[in-house]
């Protein structure tokens, strides 16, 4: 049996810029065993700047700009933390984050880009948008287009190549709409390009009807537009800044050696003042070879950074990076035409735009290969092995559970006077004198390599059984299995597990009182939880004919996580699934418990399986409204594309005899195993609409999904 190699070093990539994306792409092909790679980025996607003018002009859809960091991290074997870095403590070797405890590192690399914000200008934060970071700009542009006025007015602050490109792209997008576009520059237009190219671009700006105001400062941005130093007003409903490169402000507090706010790096791309830190792209200043901020340097730094990170982690030798003195500048002209400039020579035409389009496509295609690496199987296997594999990885979360039929066949019945309820309910109810306590346990195979996130999911999932019984969470014991790793990494990982667990348990009122830890082939987390009952326990049985059925969370986490393991789930879809799984059901339970006749939480057996448990052997059925089911964005499309959790077939087989429904992807979602799913409650129909309104006011995606009916035999009818 081959033992997985232990983890000994933490490499943390801060920011999902172009250089880091290319490093992860290379790491996926040739990882360094023993290294745990972490990528920190606030969003699940990173937009590619080279295609931004084409998007503004209308040549590319918004999605075409995005590098999917969730898929890329999965391919590279890296964990992705969706958060924003806010600080760096070099002495403690920790990265401060906006929404969770610090992350430790042995080697860290910065690729956090720049901003074109102008915070010193009054009104800028309220009435303007920055071209960088470009994600917010692209979204603001699309929103503005959807509601733009007739004869729109736009002001663009900054007339470098980026500002001119965006002005021409804007003019192309708004052609024929009597748009008024004004470029404002405190100095001279296009200061970092040759005079021949500058003259050509001036001509294109003039032909597009774009007004240029040079040599004048902006003093204020208002709802009416941009006020200039000469007391004139440039009227504008949309104000954009493309005014140069400004470093991220938090770098000033790191103690790193900076040059005009940018991290000073040596020829190996290491921070001049700390060999454990690297910096690349626009956030870095190359002291040995200063250059203008340009994406071409970020791209060409990637193979050097990849090799140097490996060397810093113990494999190979450092390589020096020497940037070229000049580079080909391809400037989009609005339509499908471009201007090229290098060494003072200028060319332009449609063929150059096609060249740029091809270069951009080649760059983006590196990150769009969604084919999993083929598994290596033995040449001979026992009968049934191939059928069980189905060319799909074993799911994490509740997708890794055993099927209901296997569990029912194996579990014994416990009959004791001090056990009020046992097997078959969400939690056991124990009598201790006048006190009645519920106890339940849940254990999850990791569906993310992020210990903090997994602890949040596992704790939320475990508490679901306590909330479903109408009890108050009381205590929790943790069960933690970590992959084999060095003692320092064990400590770091356990700290993240504990912090993630406490972020869920403490607000719910549960104390983390202990637990057990071990090492194994992969991360697994679980919690045994207790709760106290102030009233009769809510059970799965108890629904009455005419009751409305309320579900508090959307379906689809099983298929989304299954597809994510195969690099097929879009990053934003995965982000939404993670957010749904960590949403506490505490407030939902408080709202539902006083009114519910029956309640359970929807987890591994899927909605259909848990509905079947509620029906039991009673003469009850369910009429489901498929259109009313809350569903995660993208989940239905993934099922239609053929993805499903490894537990879904067993879930379907367990309740197939009860289901009356047409074949459709939405019906397939009834069998999708949920991890940390919503509460499912049966309650009087007359109170259900008000309860749903209260749940929605608390932030839950709750809905009335059907009704309980009287039948001769249990049935689930879906239409």
Q: Give me the active site residues, please.
A: 398
User: 474 CB contacts (<8 Å, ≥6 apart)?
Assistant: 437, 509, 510, 511, 529, 530, 531, 532
- Detail the DSSP E strand segments found in 66-188: 66-68, 79-82, 85-89, 94-97, 103-104, 107-110, 129-130, 153-157, 180-185
How many helices (H) does the chain have, and how many strands (E)?
21, 38
Q: Give the whole-angstrom CA distance, residue 285 versus residue 291.
A: 8
Residues 477, 281: Cα–Cα separation, whole Å: 45
Rounded to whole angstroms, the Cα distance separating 166 from 239 reads 12
Element (H, E) at 674: none
Structural tokens at position 622: 């369910």
What gap in Å lies between CA 576 and CA 554, rounded to an integer?
10
Instruction: Say which residue the tokens 């997994």 belong to.
Output: 454
User: Contact, 297 vs 324, CB < 8 A?
Assistant: no
Nearest partner of 543 among 703, 426, 714, 683, judged by Cα = 683
DSSP annotation of 335 reads: S
Within a 10 A sphere around the Cβ of 535, how many other Cβ atoms? Answer: 10
Question: How far is Cα 133 from Cα 542, in angstroms, rounded to an integer?
Answer: 54
Pairing verdict, β 270-271 and 274-279:
antiparallel
Question: Residues 175-193, buried b or exposed e (16+ Cβ, 10 A)?
Answer: eeeebbbbbbbbeebbeeb
CA dist., res. 695 & res. 367, Å (int)? 40
User: What is the C-alpha to C-alpha distance for residues 279 and 269, in angstroms, rounded to an integer?
Assistant: 6
Angle at 617 between CA 612 and CA 621, to 5 degrees: 55
Report how far residue 222's alpha carbon sits from residue 234's, in angstroms, rounded to the nearest whole number.
10
Pairing relation of β-strands 679-683 and 598-601?
Answer: antiparallel
Go through the chain and tell me how many residues it has.
Answer: 719
């Amino acid at each position: 049996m081959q033992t997985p190699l232990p983890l000994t070093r933490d490499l943390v990539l801060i920011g999902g810029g172009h250089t880091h994306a290319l490093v992860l792409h290379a790491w996926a092909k040739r990882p360094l065993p023993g290294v745990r790679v972490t990528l920190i980025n606030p969003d699940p996607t990173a937009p590619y700047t080279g295609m931004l003018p084409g998007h503004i002009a209308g040549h590319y859809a918004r999605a075409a700009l995005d590098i999917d960091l969730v898929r890329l991290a999965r391919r590279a074997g890296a964990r992705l933390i969706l958060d924003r870095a806010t600080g760096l403590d070099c002495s403690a070797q920790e990265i401060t984050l906006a929404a969770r405890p610090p992350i430790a590192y042995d080697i860290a690399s910065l690729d956090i880009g720049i901003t074109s914000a102008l915070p010193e200008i009054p009104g800028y934060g309220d009435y303007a948008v920055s071209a960088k970071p470009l994600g917010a700009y692209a979204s603001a542009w699309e929103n503005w287009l959807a509601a733009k006025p007739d004869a729109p007015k736009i002001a663009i602050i900054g007339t470098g190549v980026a500002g001119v490109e965006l002005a021409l792209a804007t003019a192309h997008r708004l052609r024929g709409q009597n748009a008024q576009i004004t470029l404002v520059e405190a100095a001279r237009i296009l200061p970092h390009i040759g005079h021949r190219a500058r003259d050509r671009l001036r001509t294109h700006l003039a032909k597009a009807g774009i007004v240029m105001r040079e040599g004048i400062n902006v003093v204020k941005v208002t709802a009416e537009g941009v006020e200039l130093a000469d007391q004139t007003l440039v009227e504008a409903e949309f104000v954009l800044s493309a005014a140069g490169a400004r470093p991220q402000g938090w770098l000033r507090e790191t103690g790193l050696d900076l040059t005009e706010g940018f991290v000073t790096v040596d020829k190996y791309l290491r921070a001049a003042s700390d060999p454990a830190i690297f910096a690349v792209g626009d956030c870095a200043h190359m002291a040995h070879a200063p250059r203008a901020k340009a994406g071409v340097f970020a791209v060409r730094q990637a193979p050097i950074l990849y090799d140097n990170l490996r060397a810093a982690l113990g494999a190979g030798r450092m390589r020096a990076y020497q940037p070229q003195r000049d580079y080909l500048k391809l400037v989009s002209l609005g339509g499908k035409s471009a201007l090229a400039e290098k060494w003072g020579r200028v060319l332009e035409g449609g063929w150059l735009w096609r060249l740029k389009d091809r270069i951009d496509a080649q760059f983006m295609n590196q990150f769009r290969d969604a084919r999993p690496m083929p598994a290596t199987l033995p040449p001979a296997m026992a009968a049934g092995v191939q059928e069980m594999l189905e060319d799909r990885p074993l799911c994490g979360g509740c997708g890794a559970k055993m099927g209901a039929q296997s569990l029912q066949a194996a579990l014994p019945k416990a009959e004791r006077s001090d056990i009020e309820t046992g097997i078959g309910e969400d939690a056991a109810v124990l009598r201790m004198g006048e006190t009645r306590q519920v106890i339940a346990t849940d254990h999850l195979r990791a569906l993310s390599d992020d210990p903090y996130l997994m602890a949040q999911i596992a704790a939320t999932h475990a508490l679901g059984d306590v909330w479903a019984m109408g009890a108050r969470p009381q205590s929790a014991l943790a069960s933690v299995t970590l992959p084999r790793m060095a003692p320092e990494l064990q400590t770091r990982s356990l700290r993240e597990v504990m912090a993630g667990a406490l972020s869920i348990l403490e607000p719910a009122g549960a104390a983390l009182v202990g637990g057990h830890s071990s090492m194994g082939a992969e991360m697994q987390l679980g919690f045994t939880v207790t709760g106290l009952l102030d009233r009769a326990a809510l059970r799965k049985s108890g629904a009455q004919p005419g009751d409305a059925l309320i579900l508090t969370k959307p379906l689809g986490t099983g298929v989304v996580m299954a597809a994510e393991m195969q690099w097929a789930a879009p990053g934003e879809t995965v982000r939404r699934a993670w957010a749904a799984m960590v949403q506490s059901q505490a407030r939902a339970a408080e709202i539902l418990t006083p009114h519910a006749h029956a309640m359970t939480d929807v987890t591994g057996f899927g909605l259909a399986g848990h509905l079947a448990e509620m029906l039991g052997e009673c003469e009850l059925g369910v009429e489901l409204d498929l259109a009313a089911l809350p569903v995660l964005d993208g989940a239905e499309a993934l099922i239609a594309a053929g993805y499903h959790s490894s537990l879904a077939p067993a879930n379907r087989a367990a309740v197939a005899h009860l289901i009356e429904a047409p074949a459709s992807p939405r019906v397939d979602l009834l069998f999708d195993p949920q991890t940390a799913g919503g509460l499912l409650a049966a309650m009087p129909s007359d109170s259900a609409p008000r309860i749903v309104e209260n749940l929605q006011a608390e932030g839950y995606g709750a809905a009335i999904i059907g009704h309980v009916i009287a039948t001769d035999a249990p049935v689930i009818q879906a239409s």
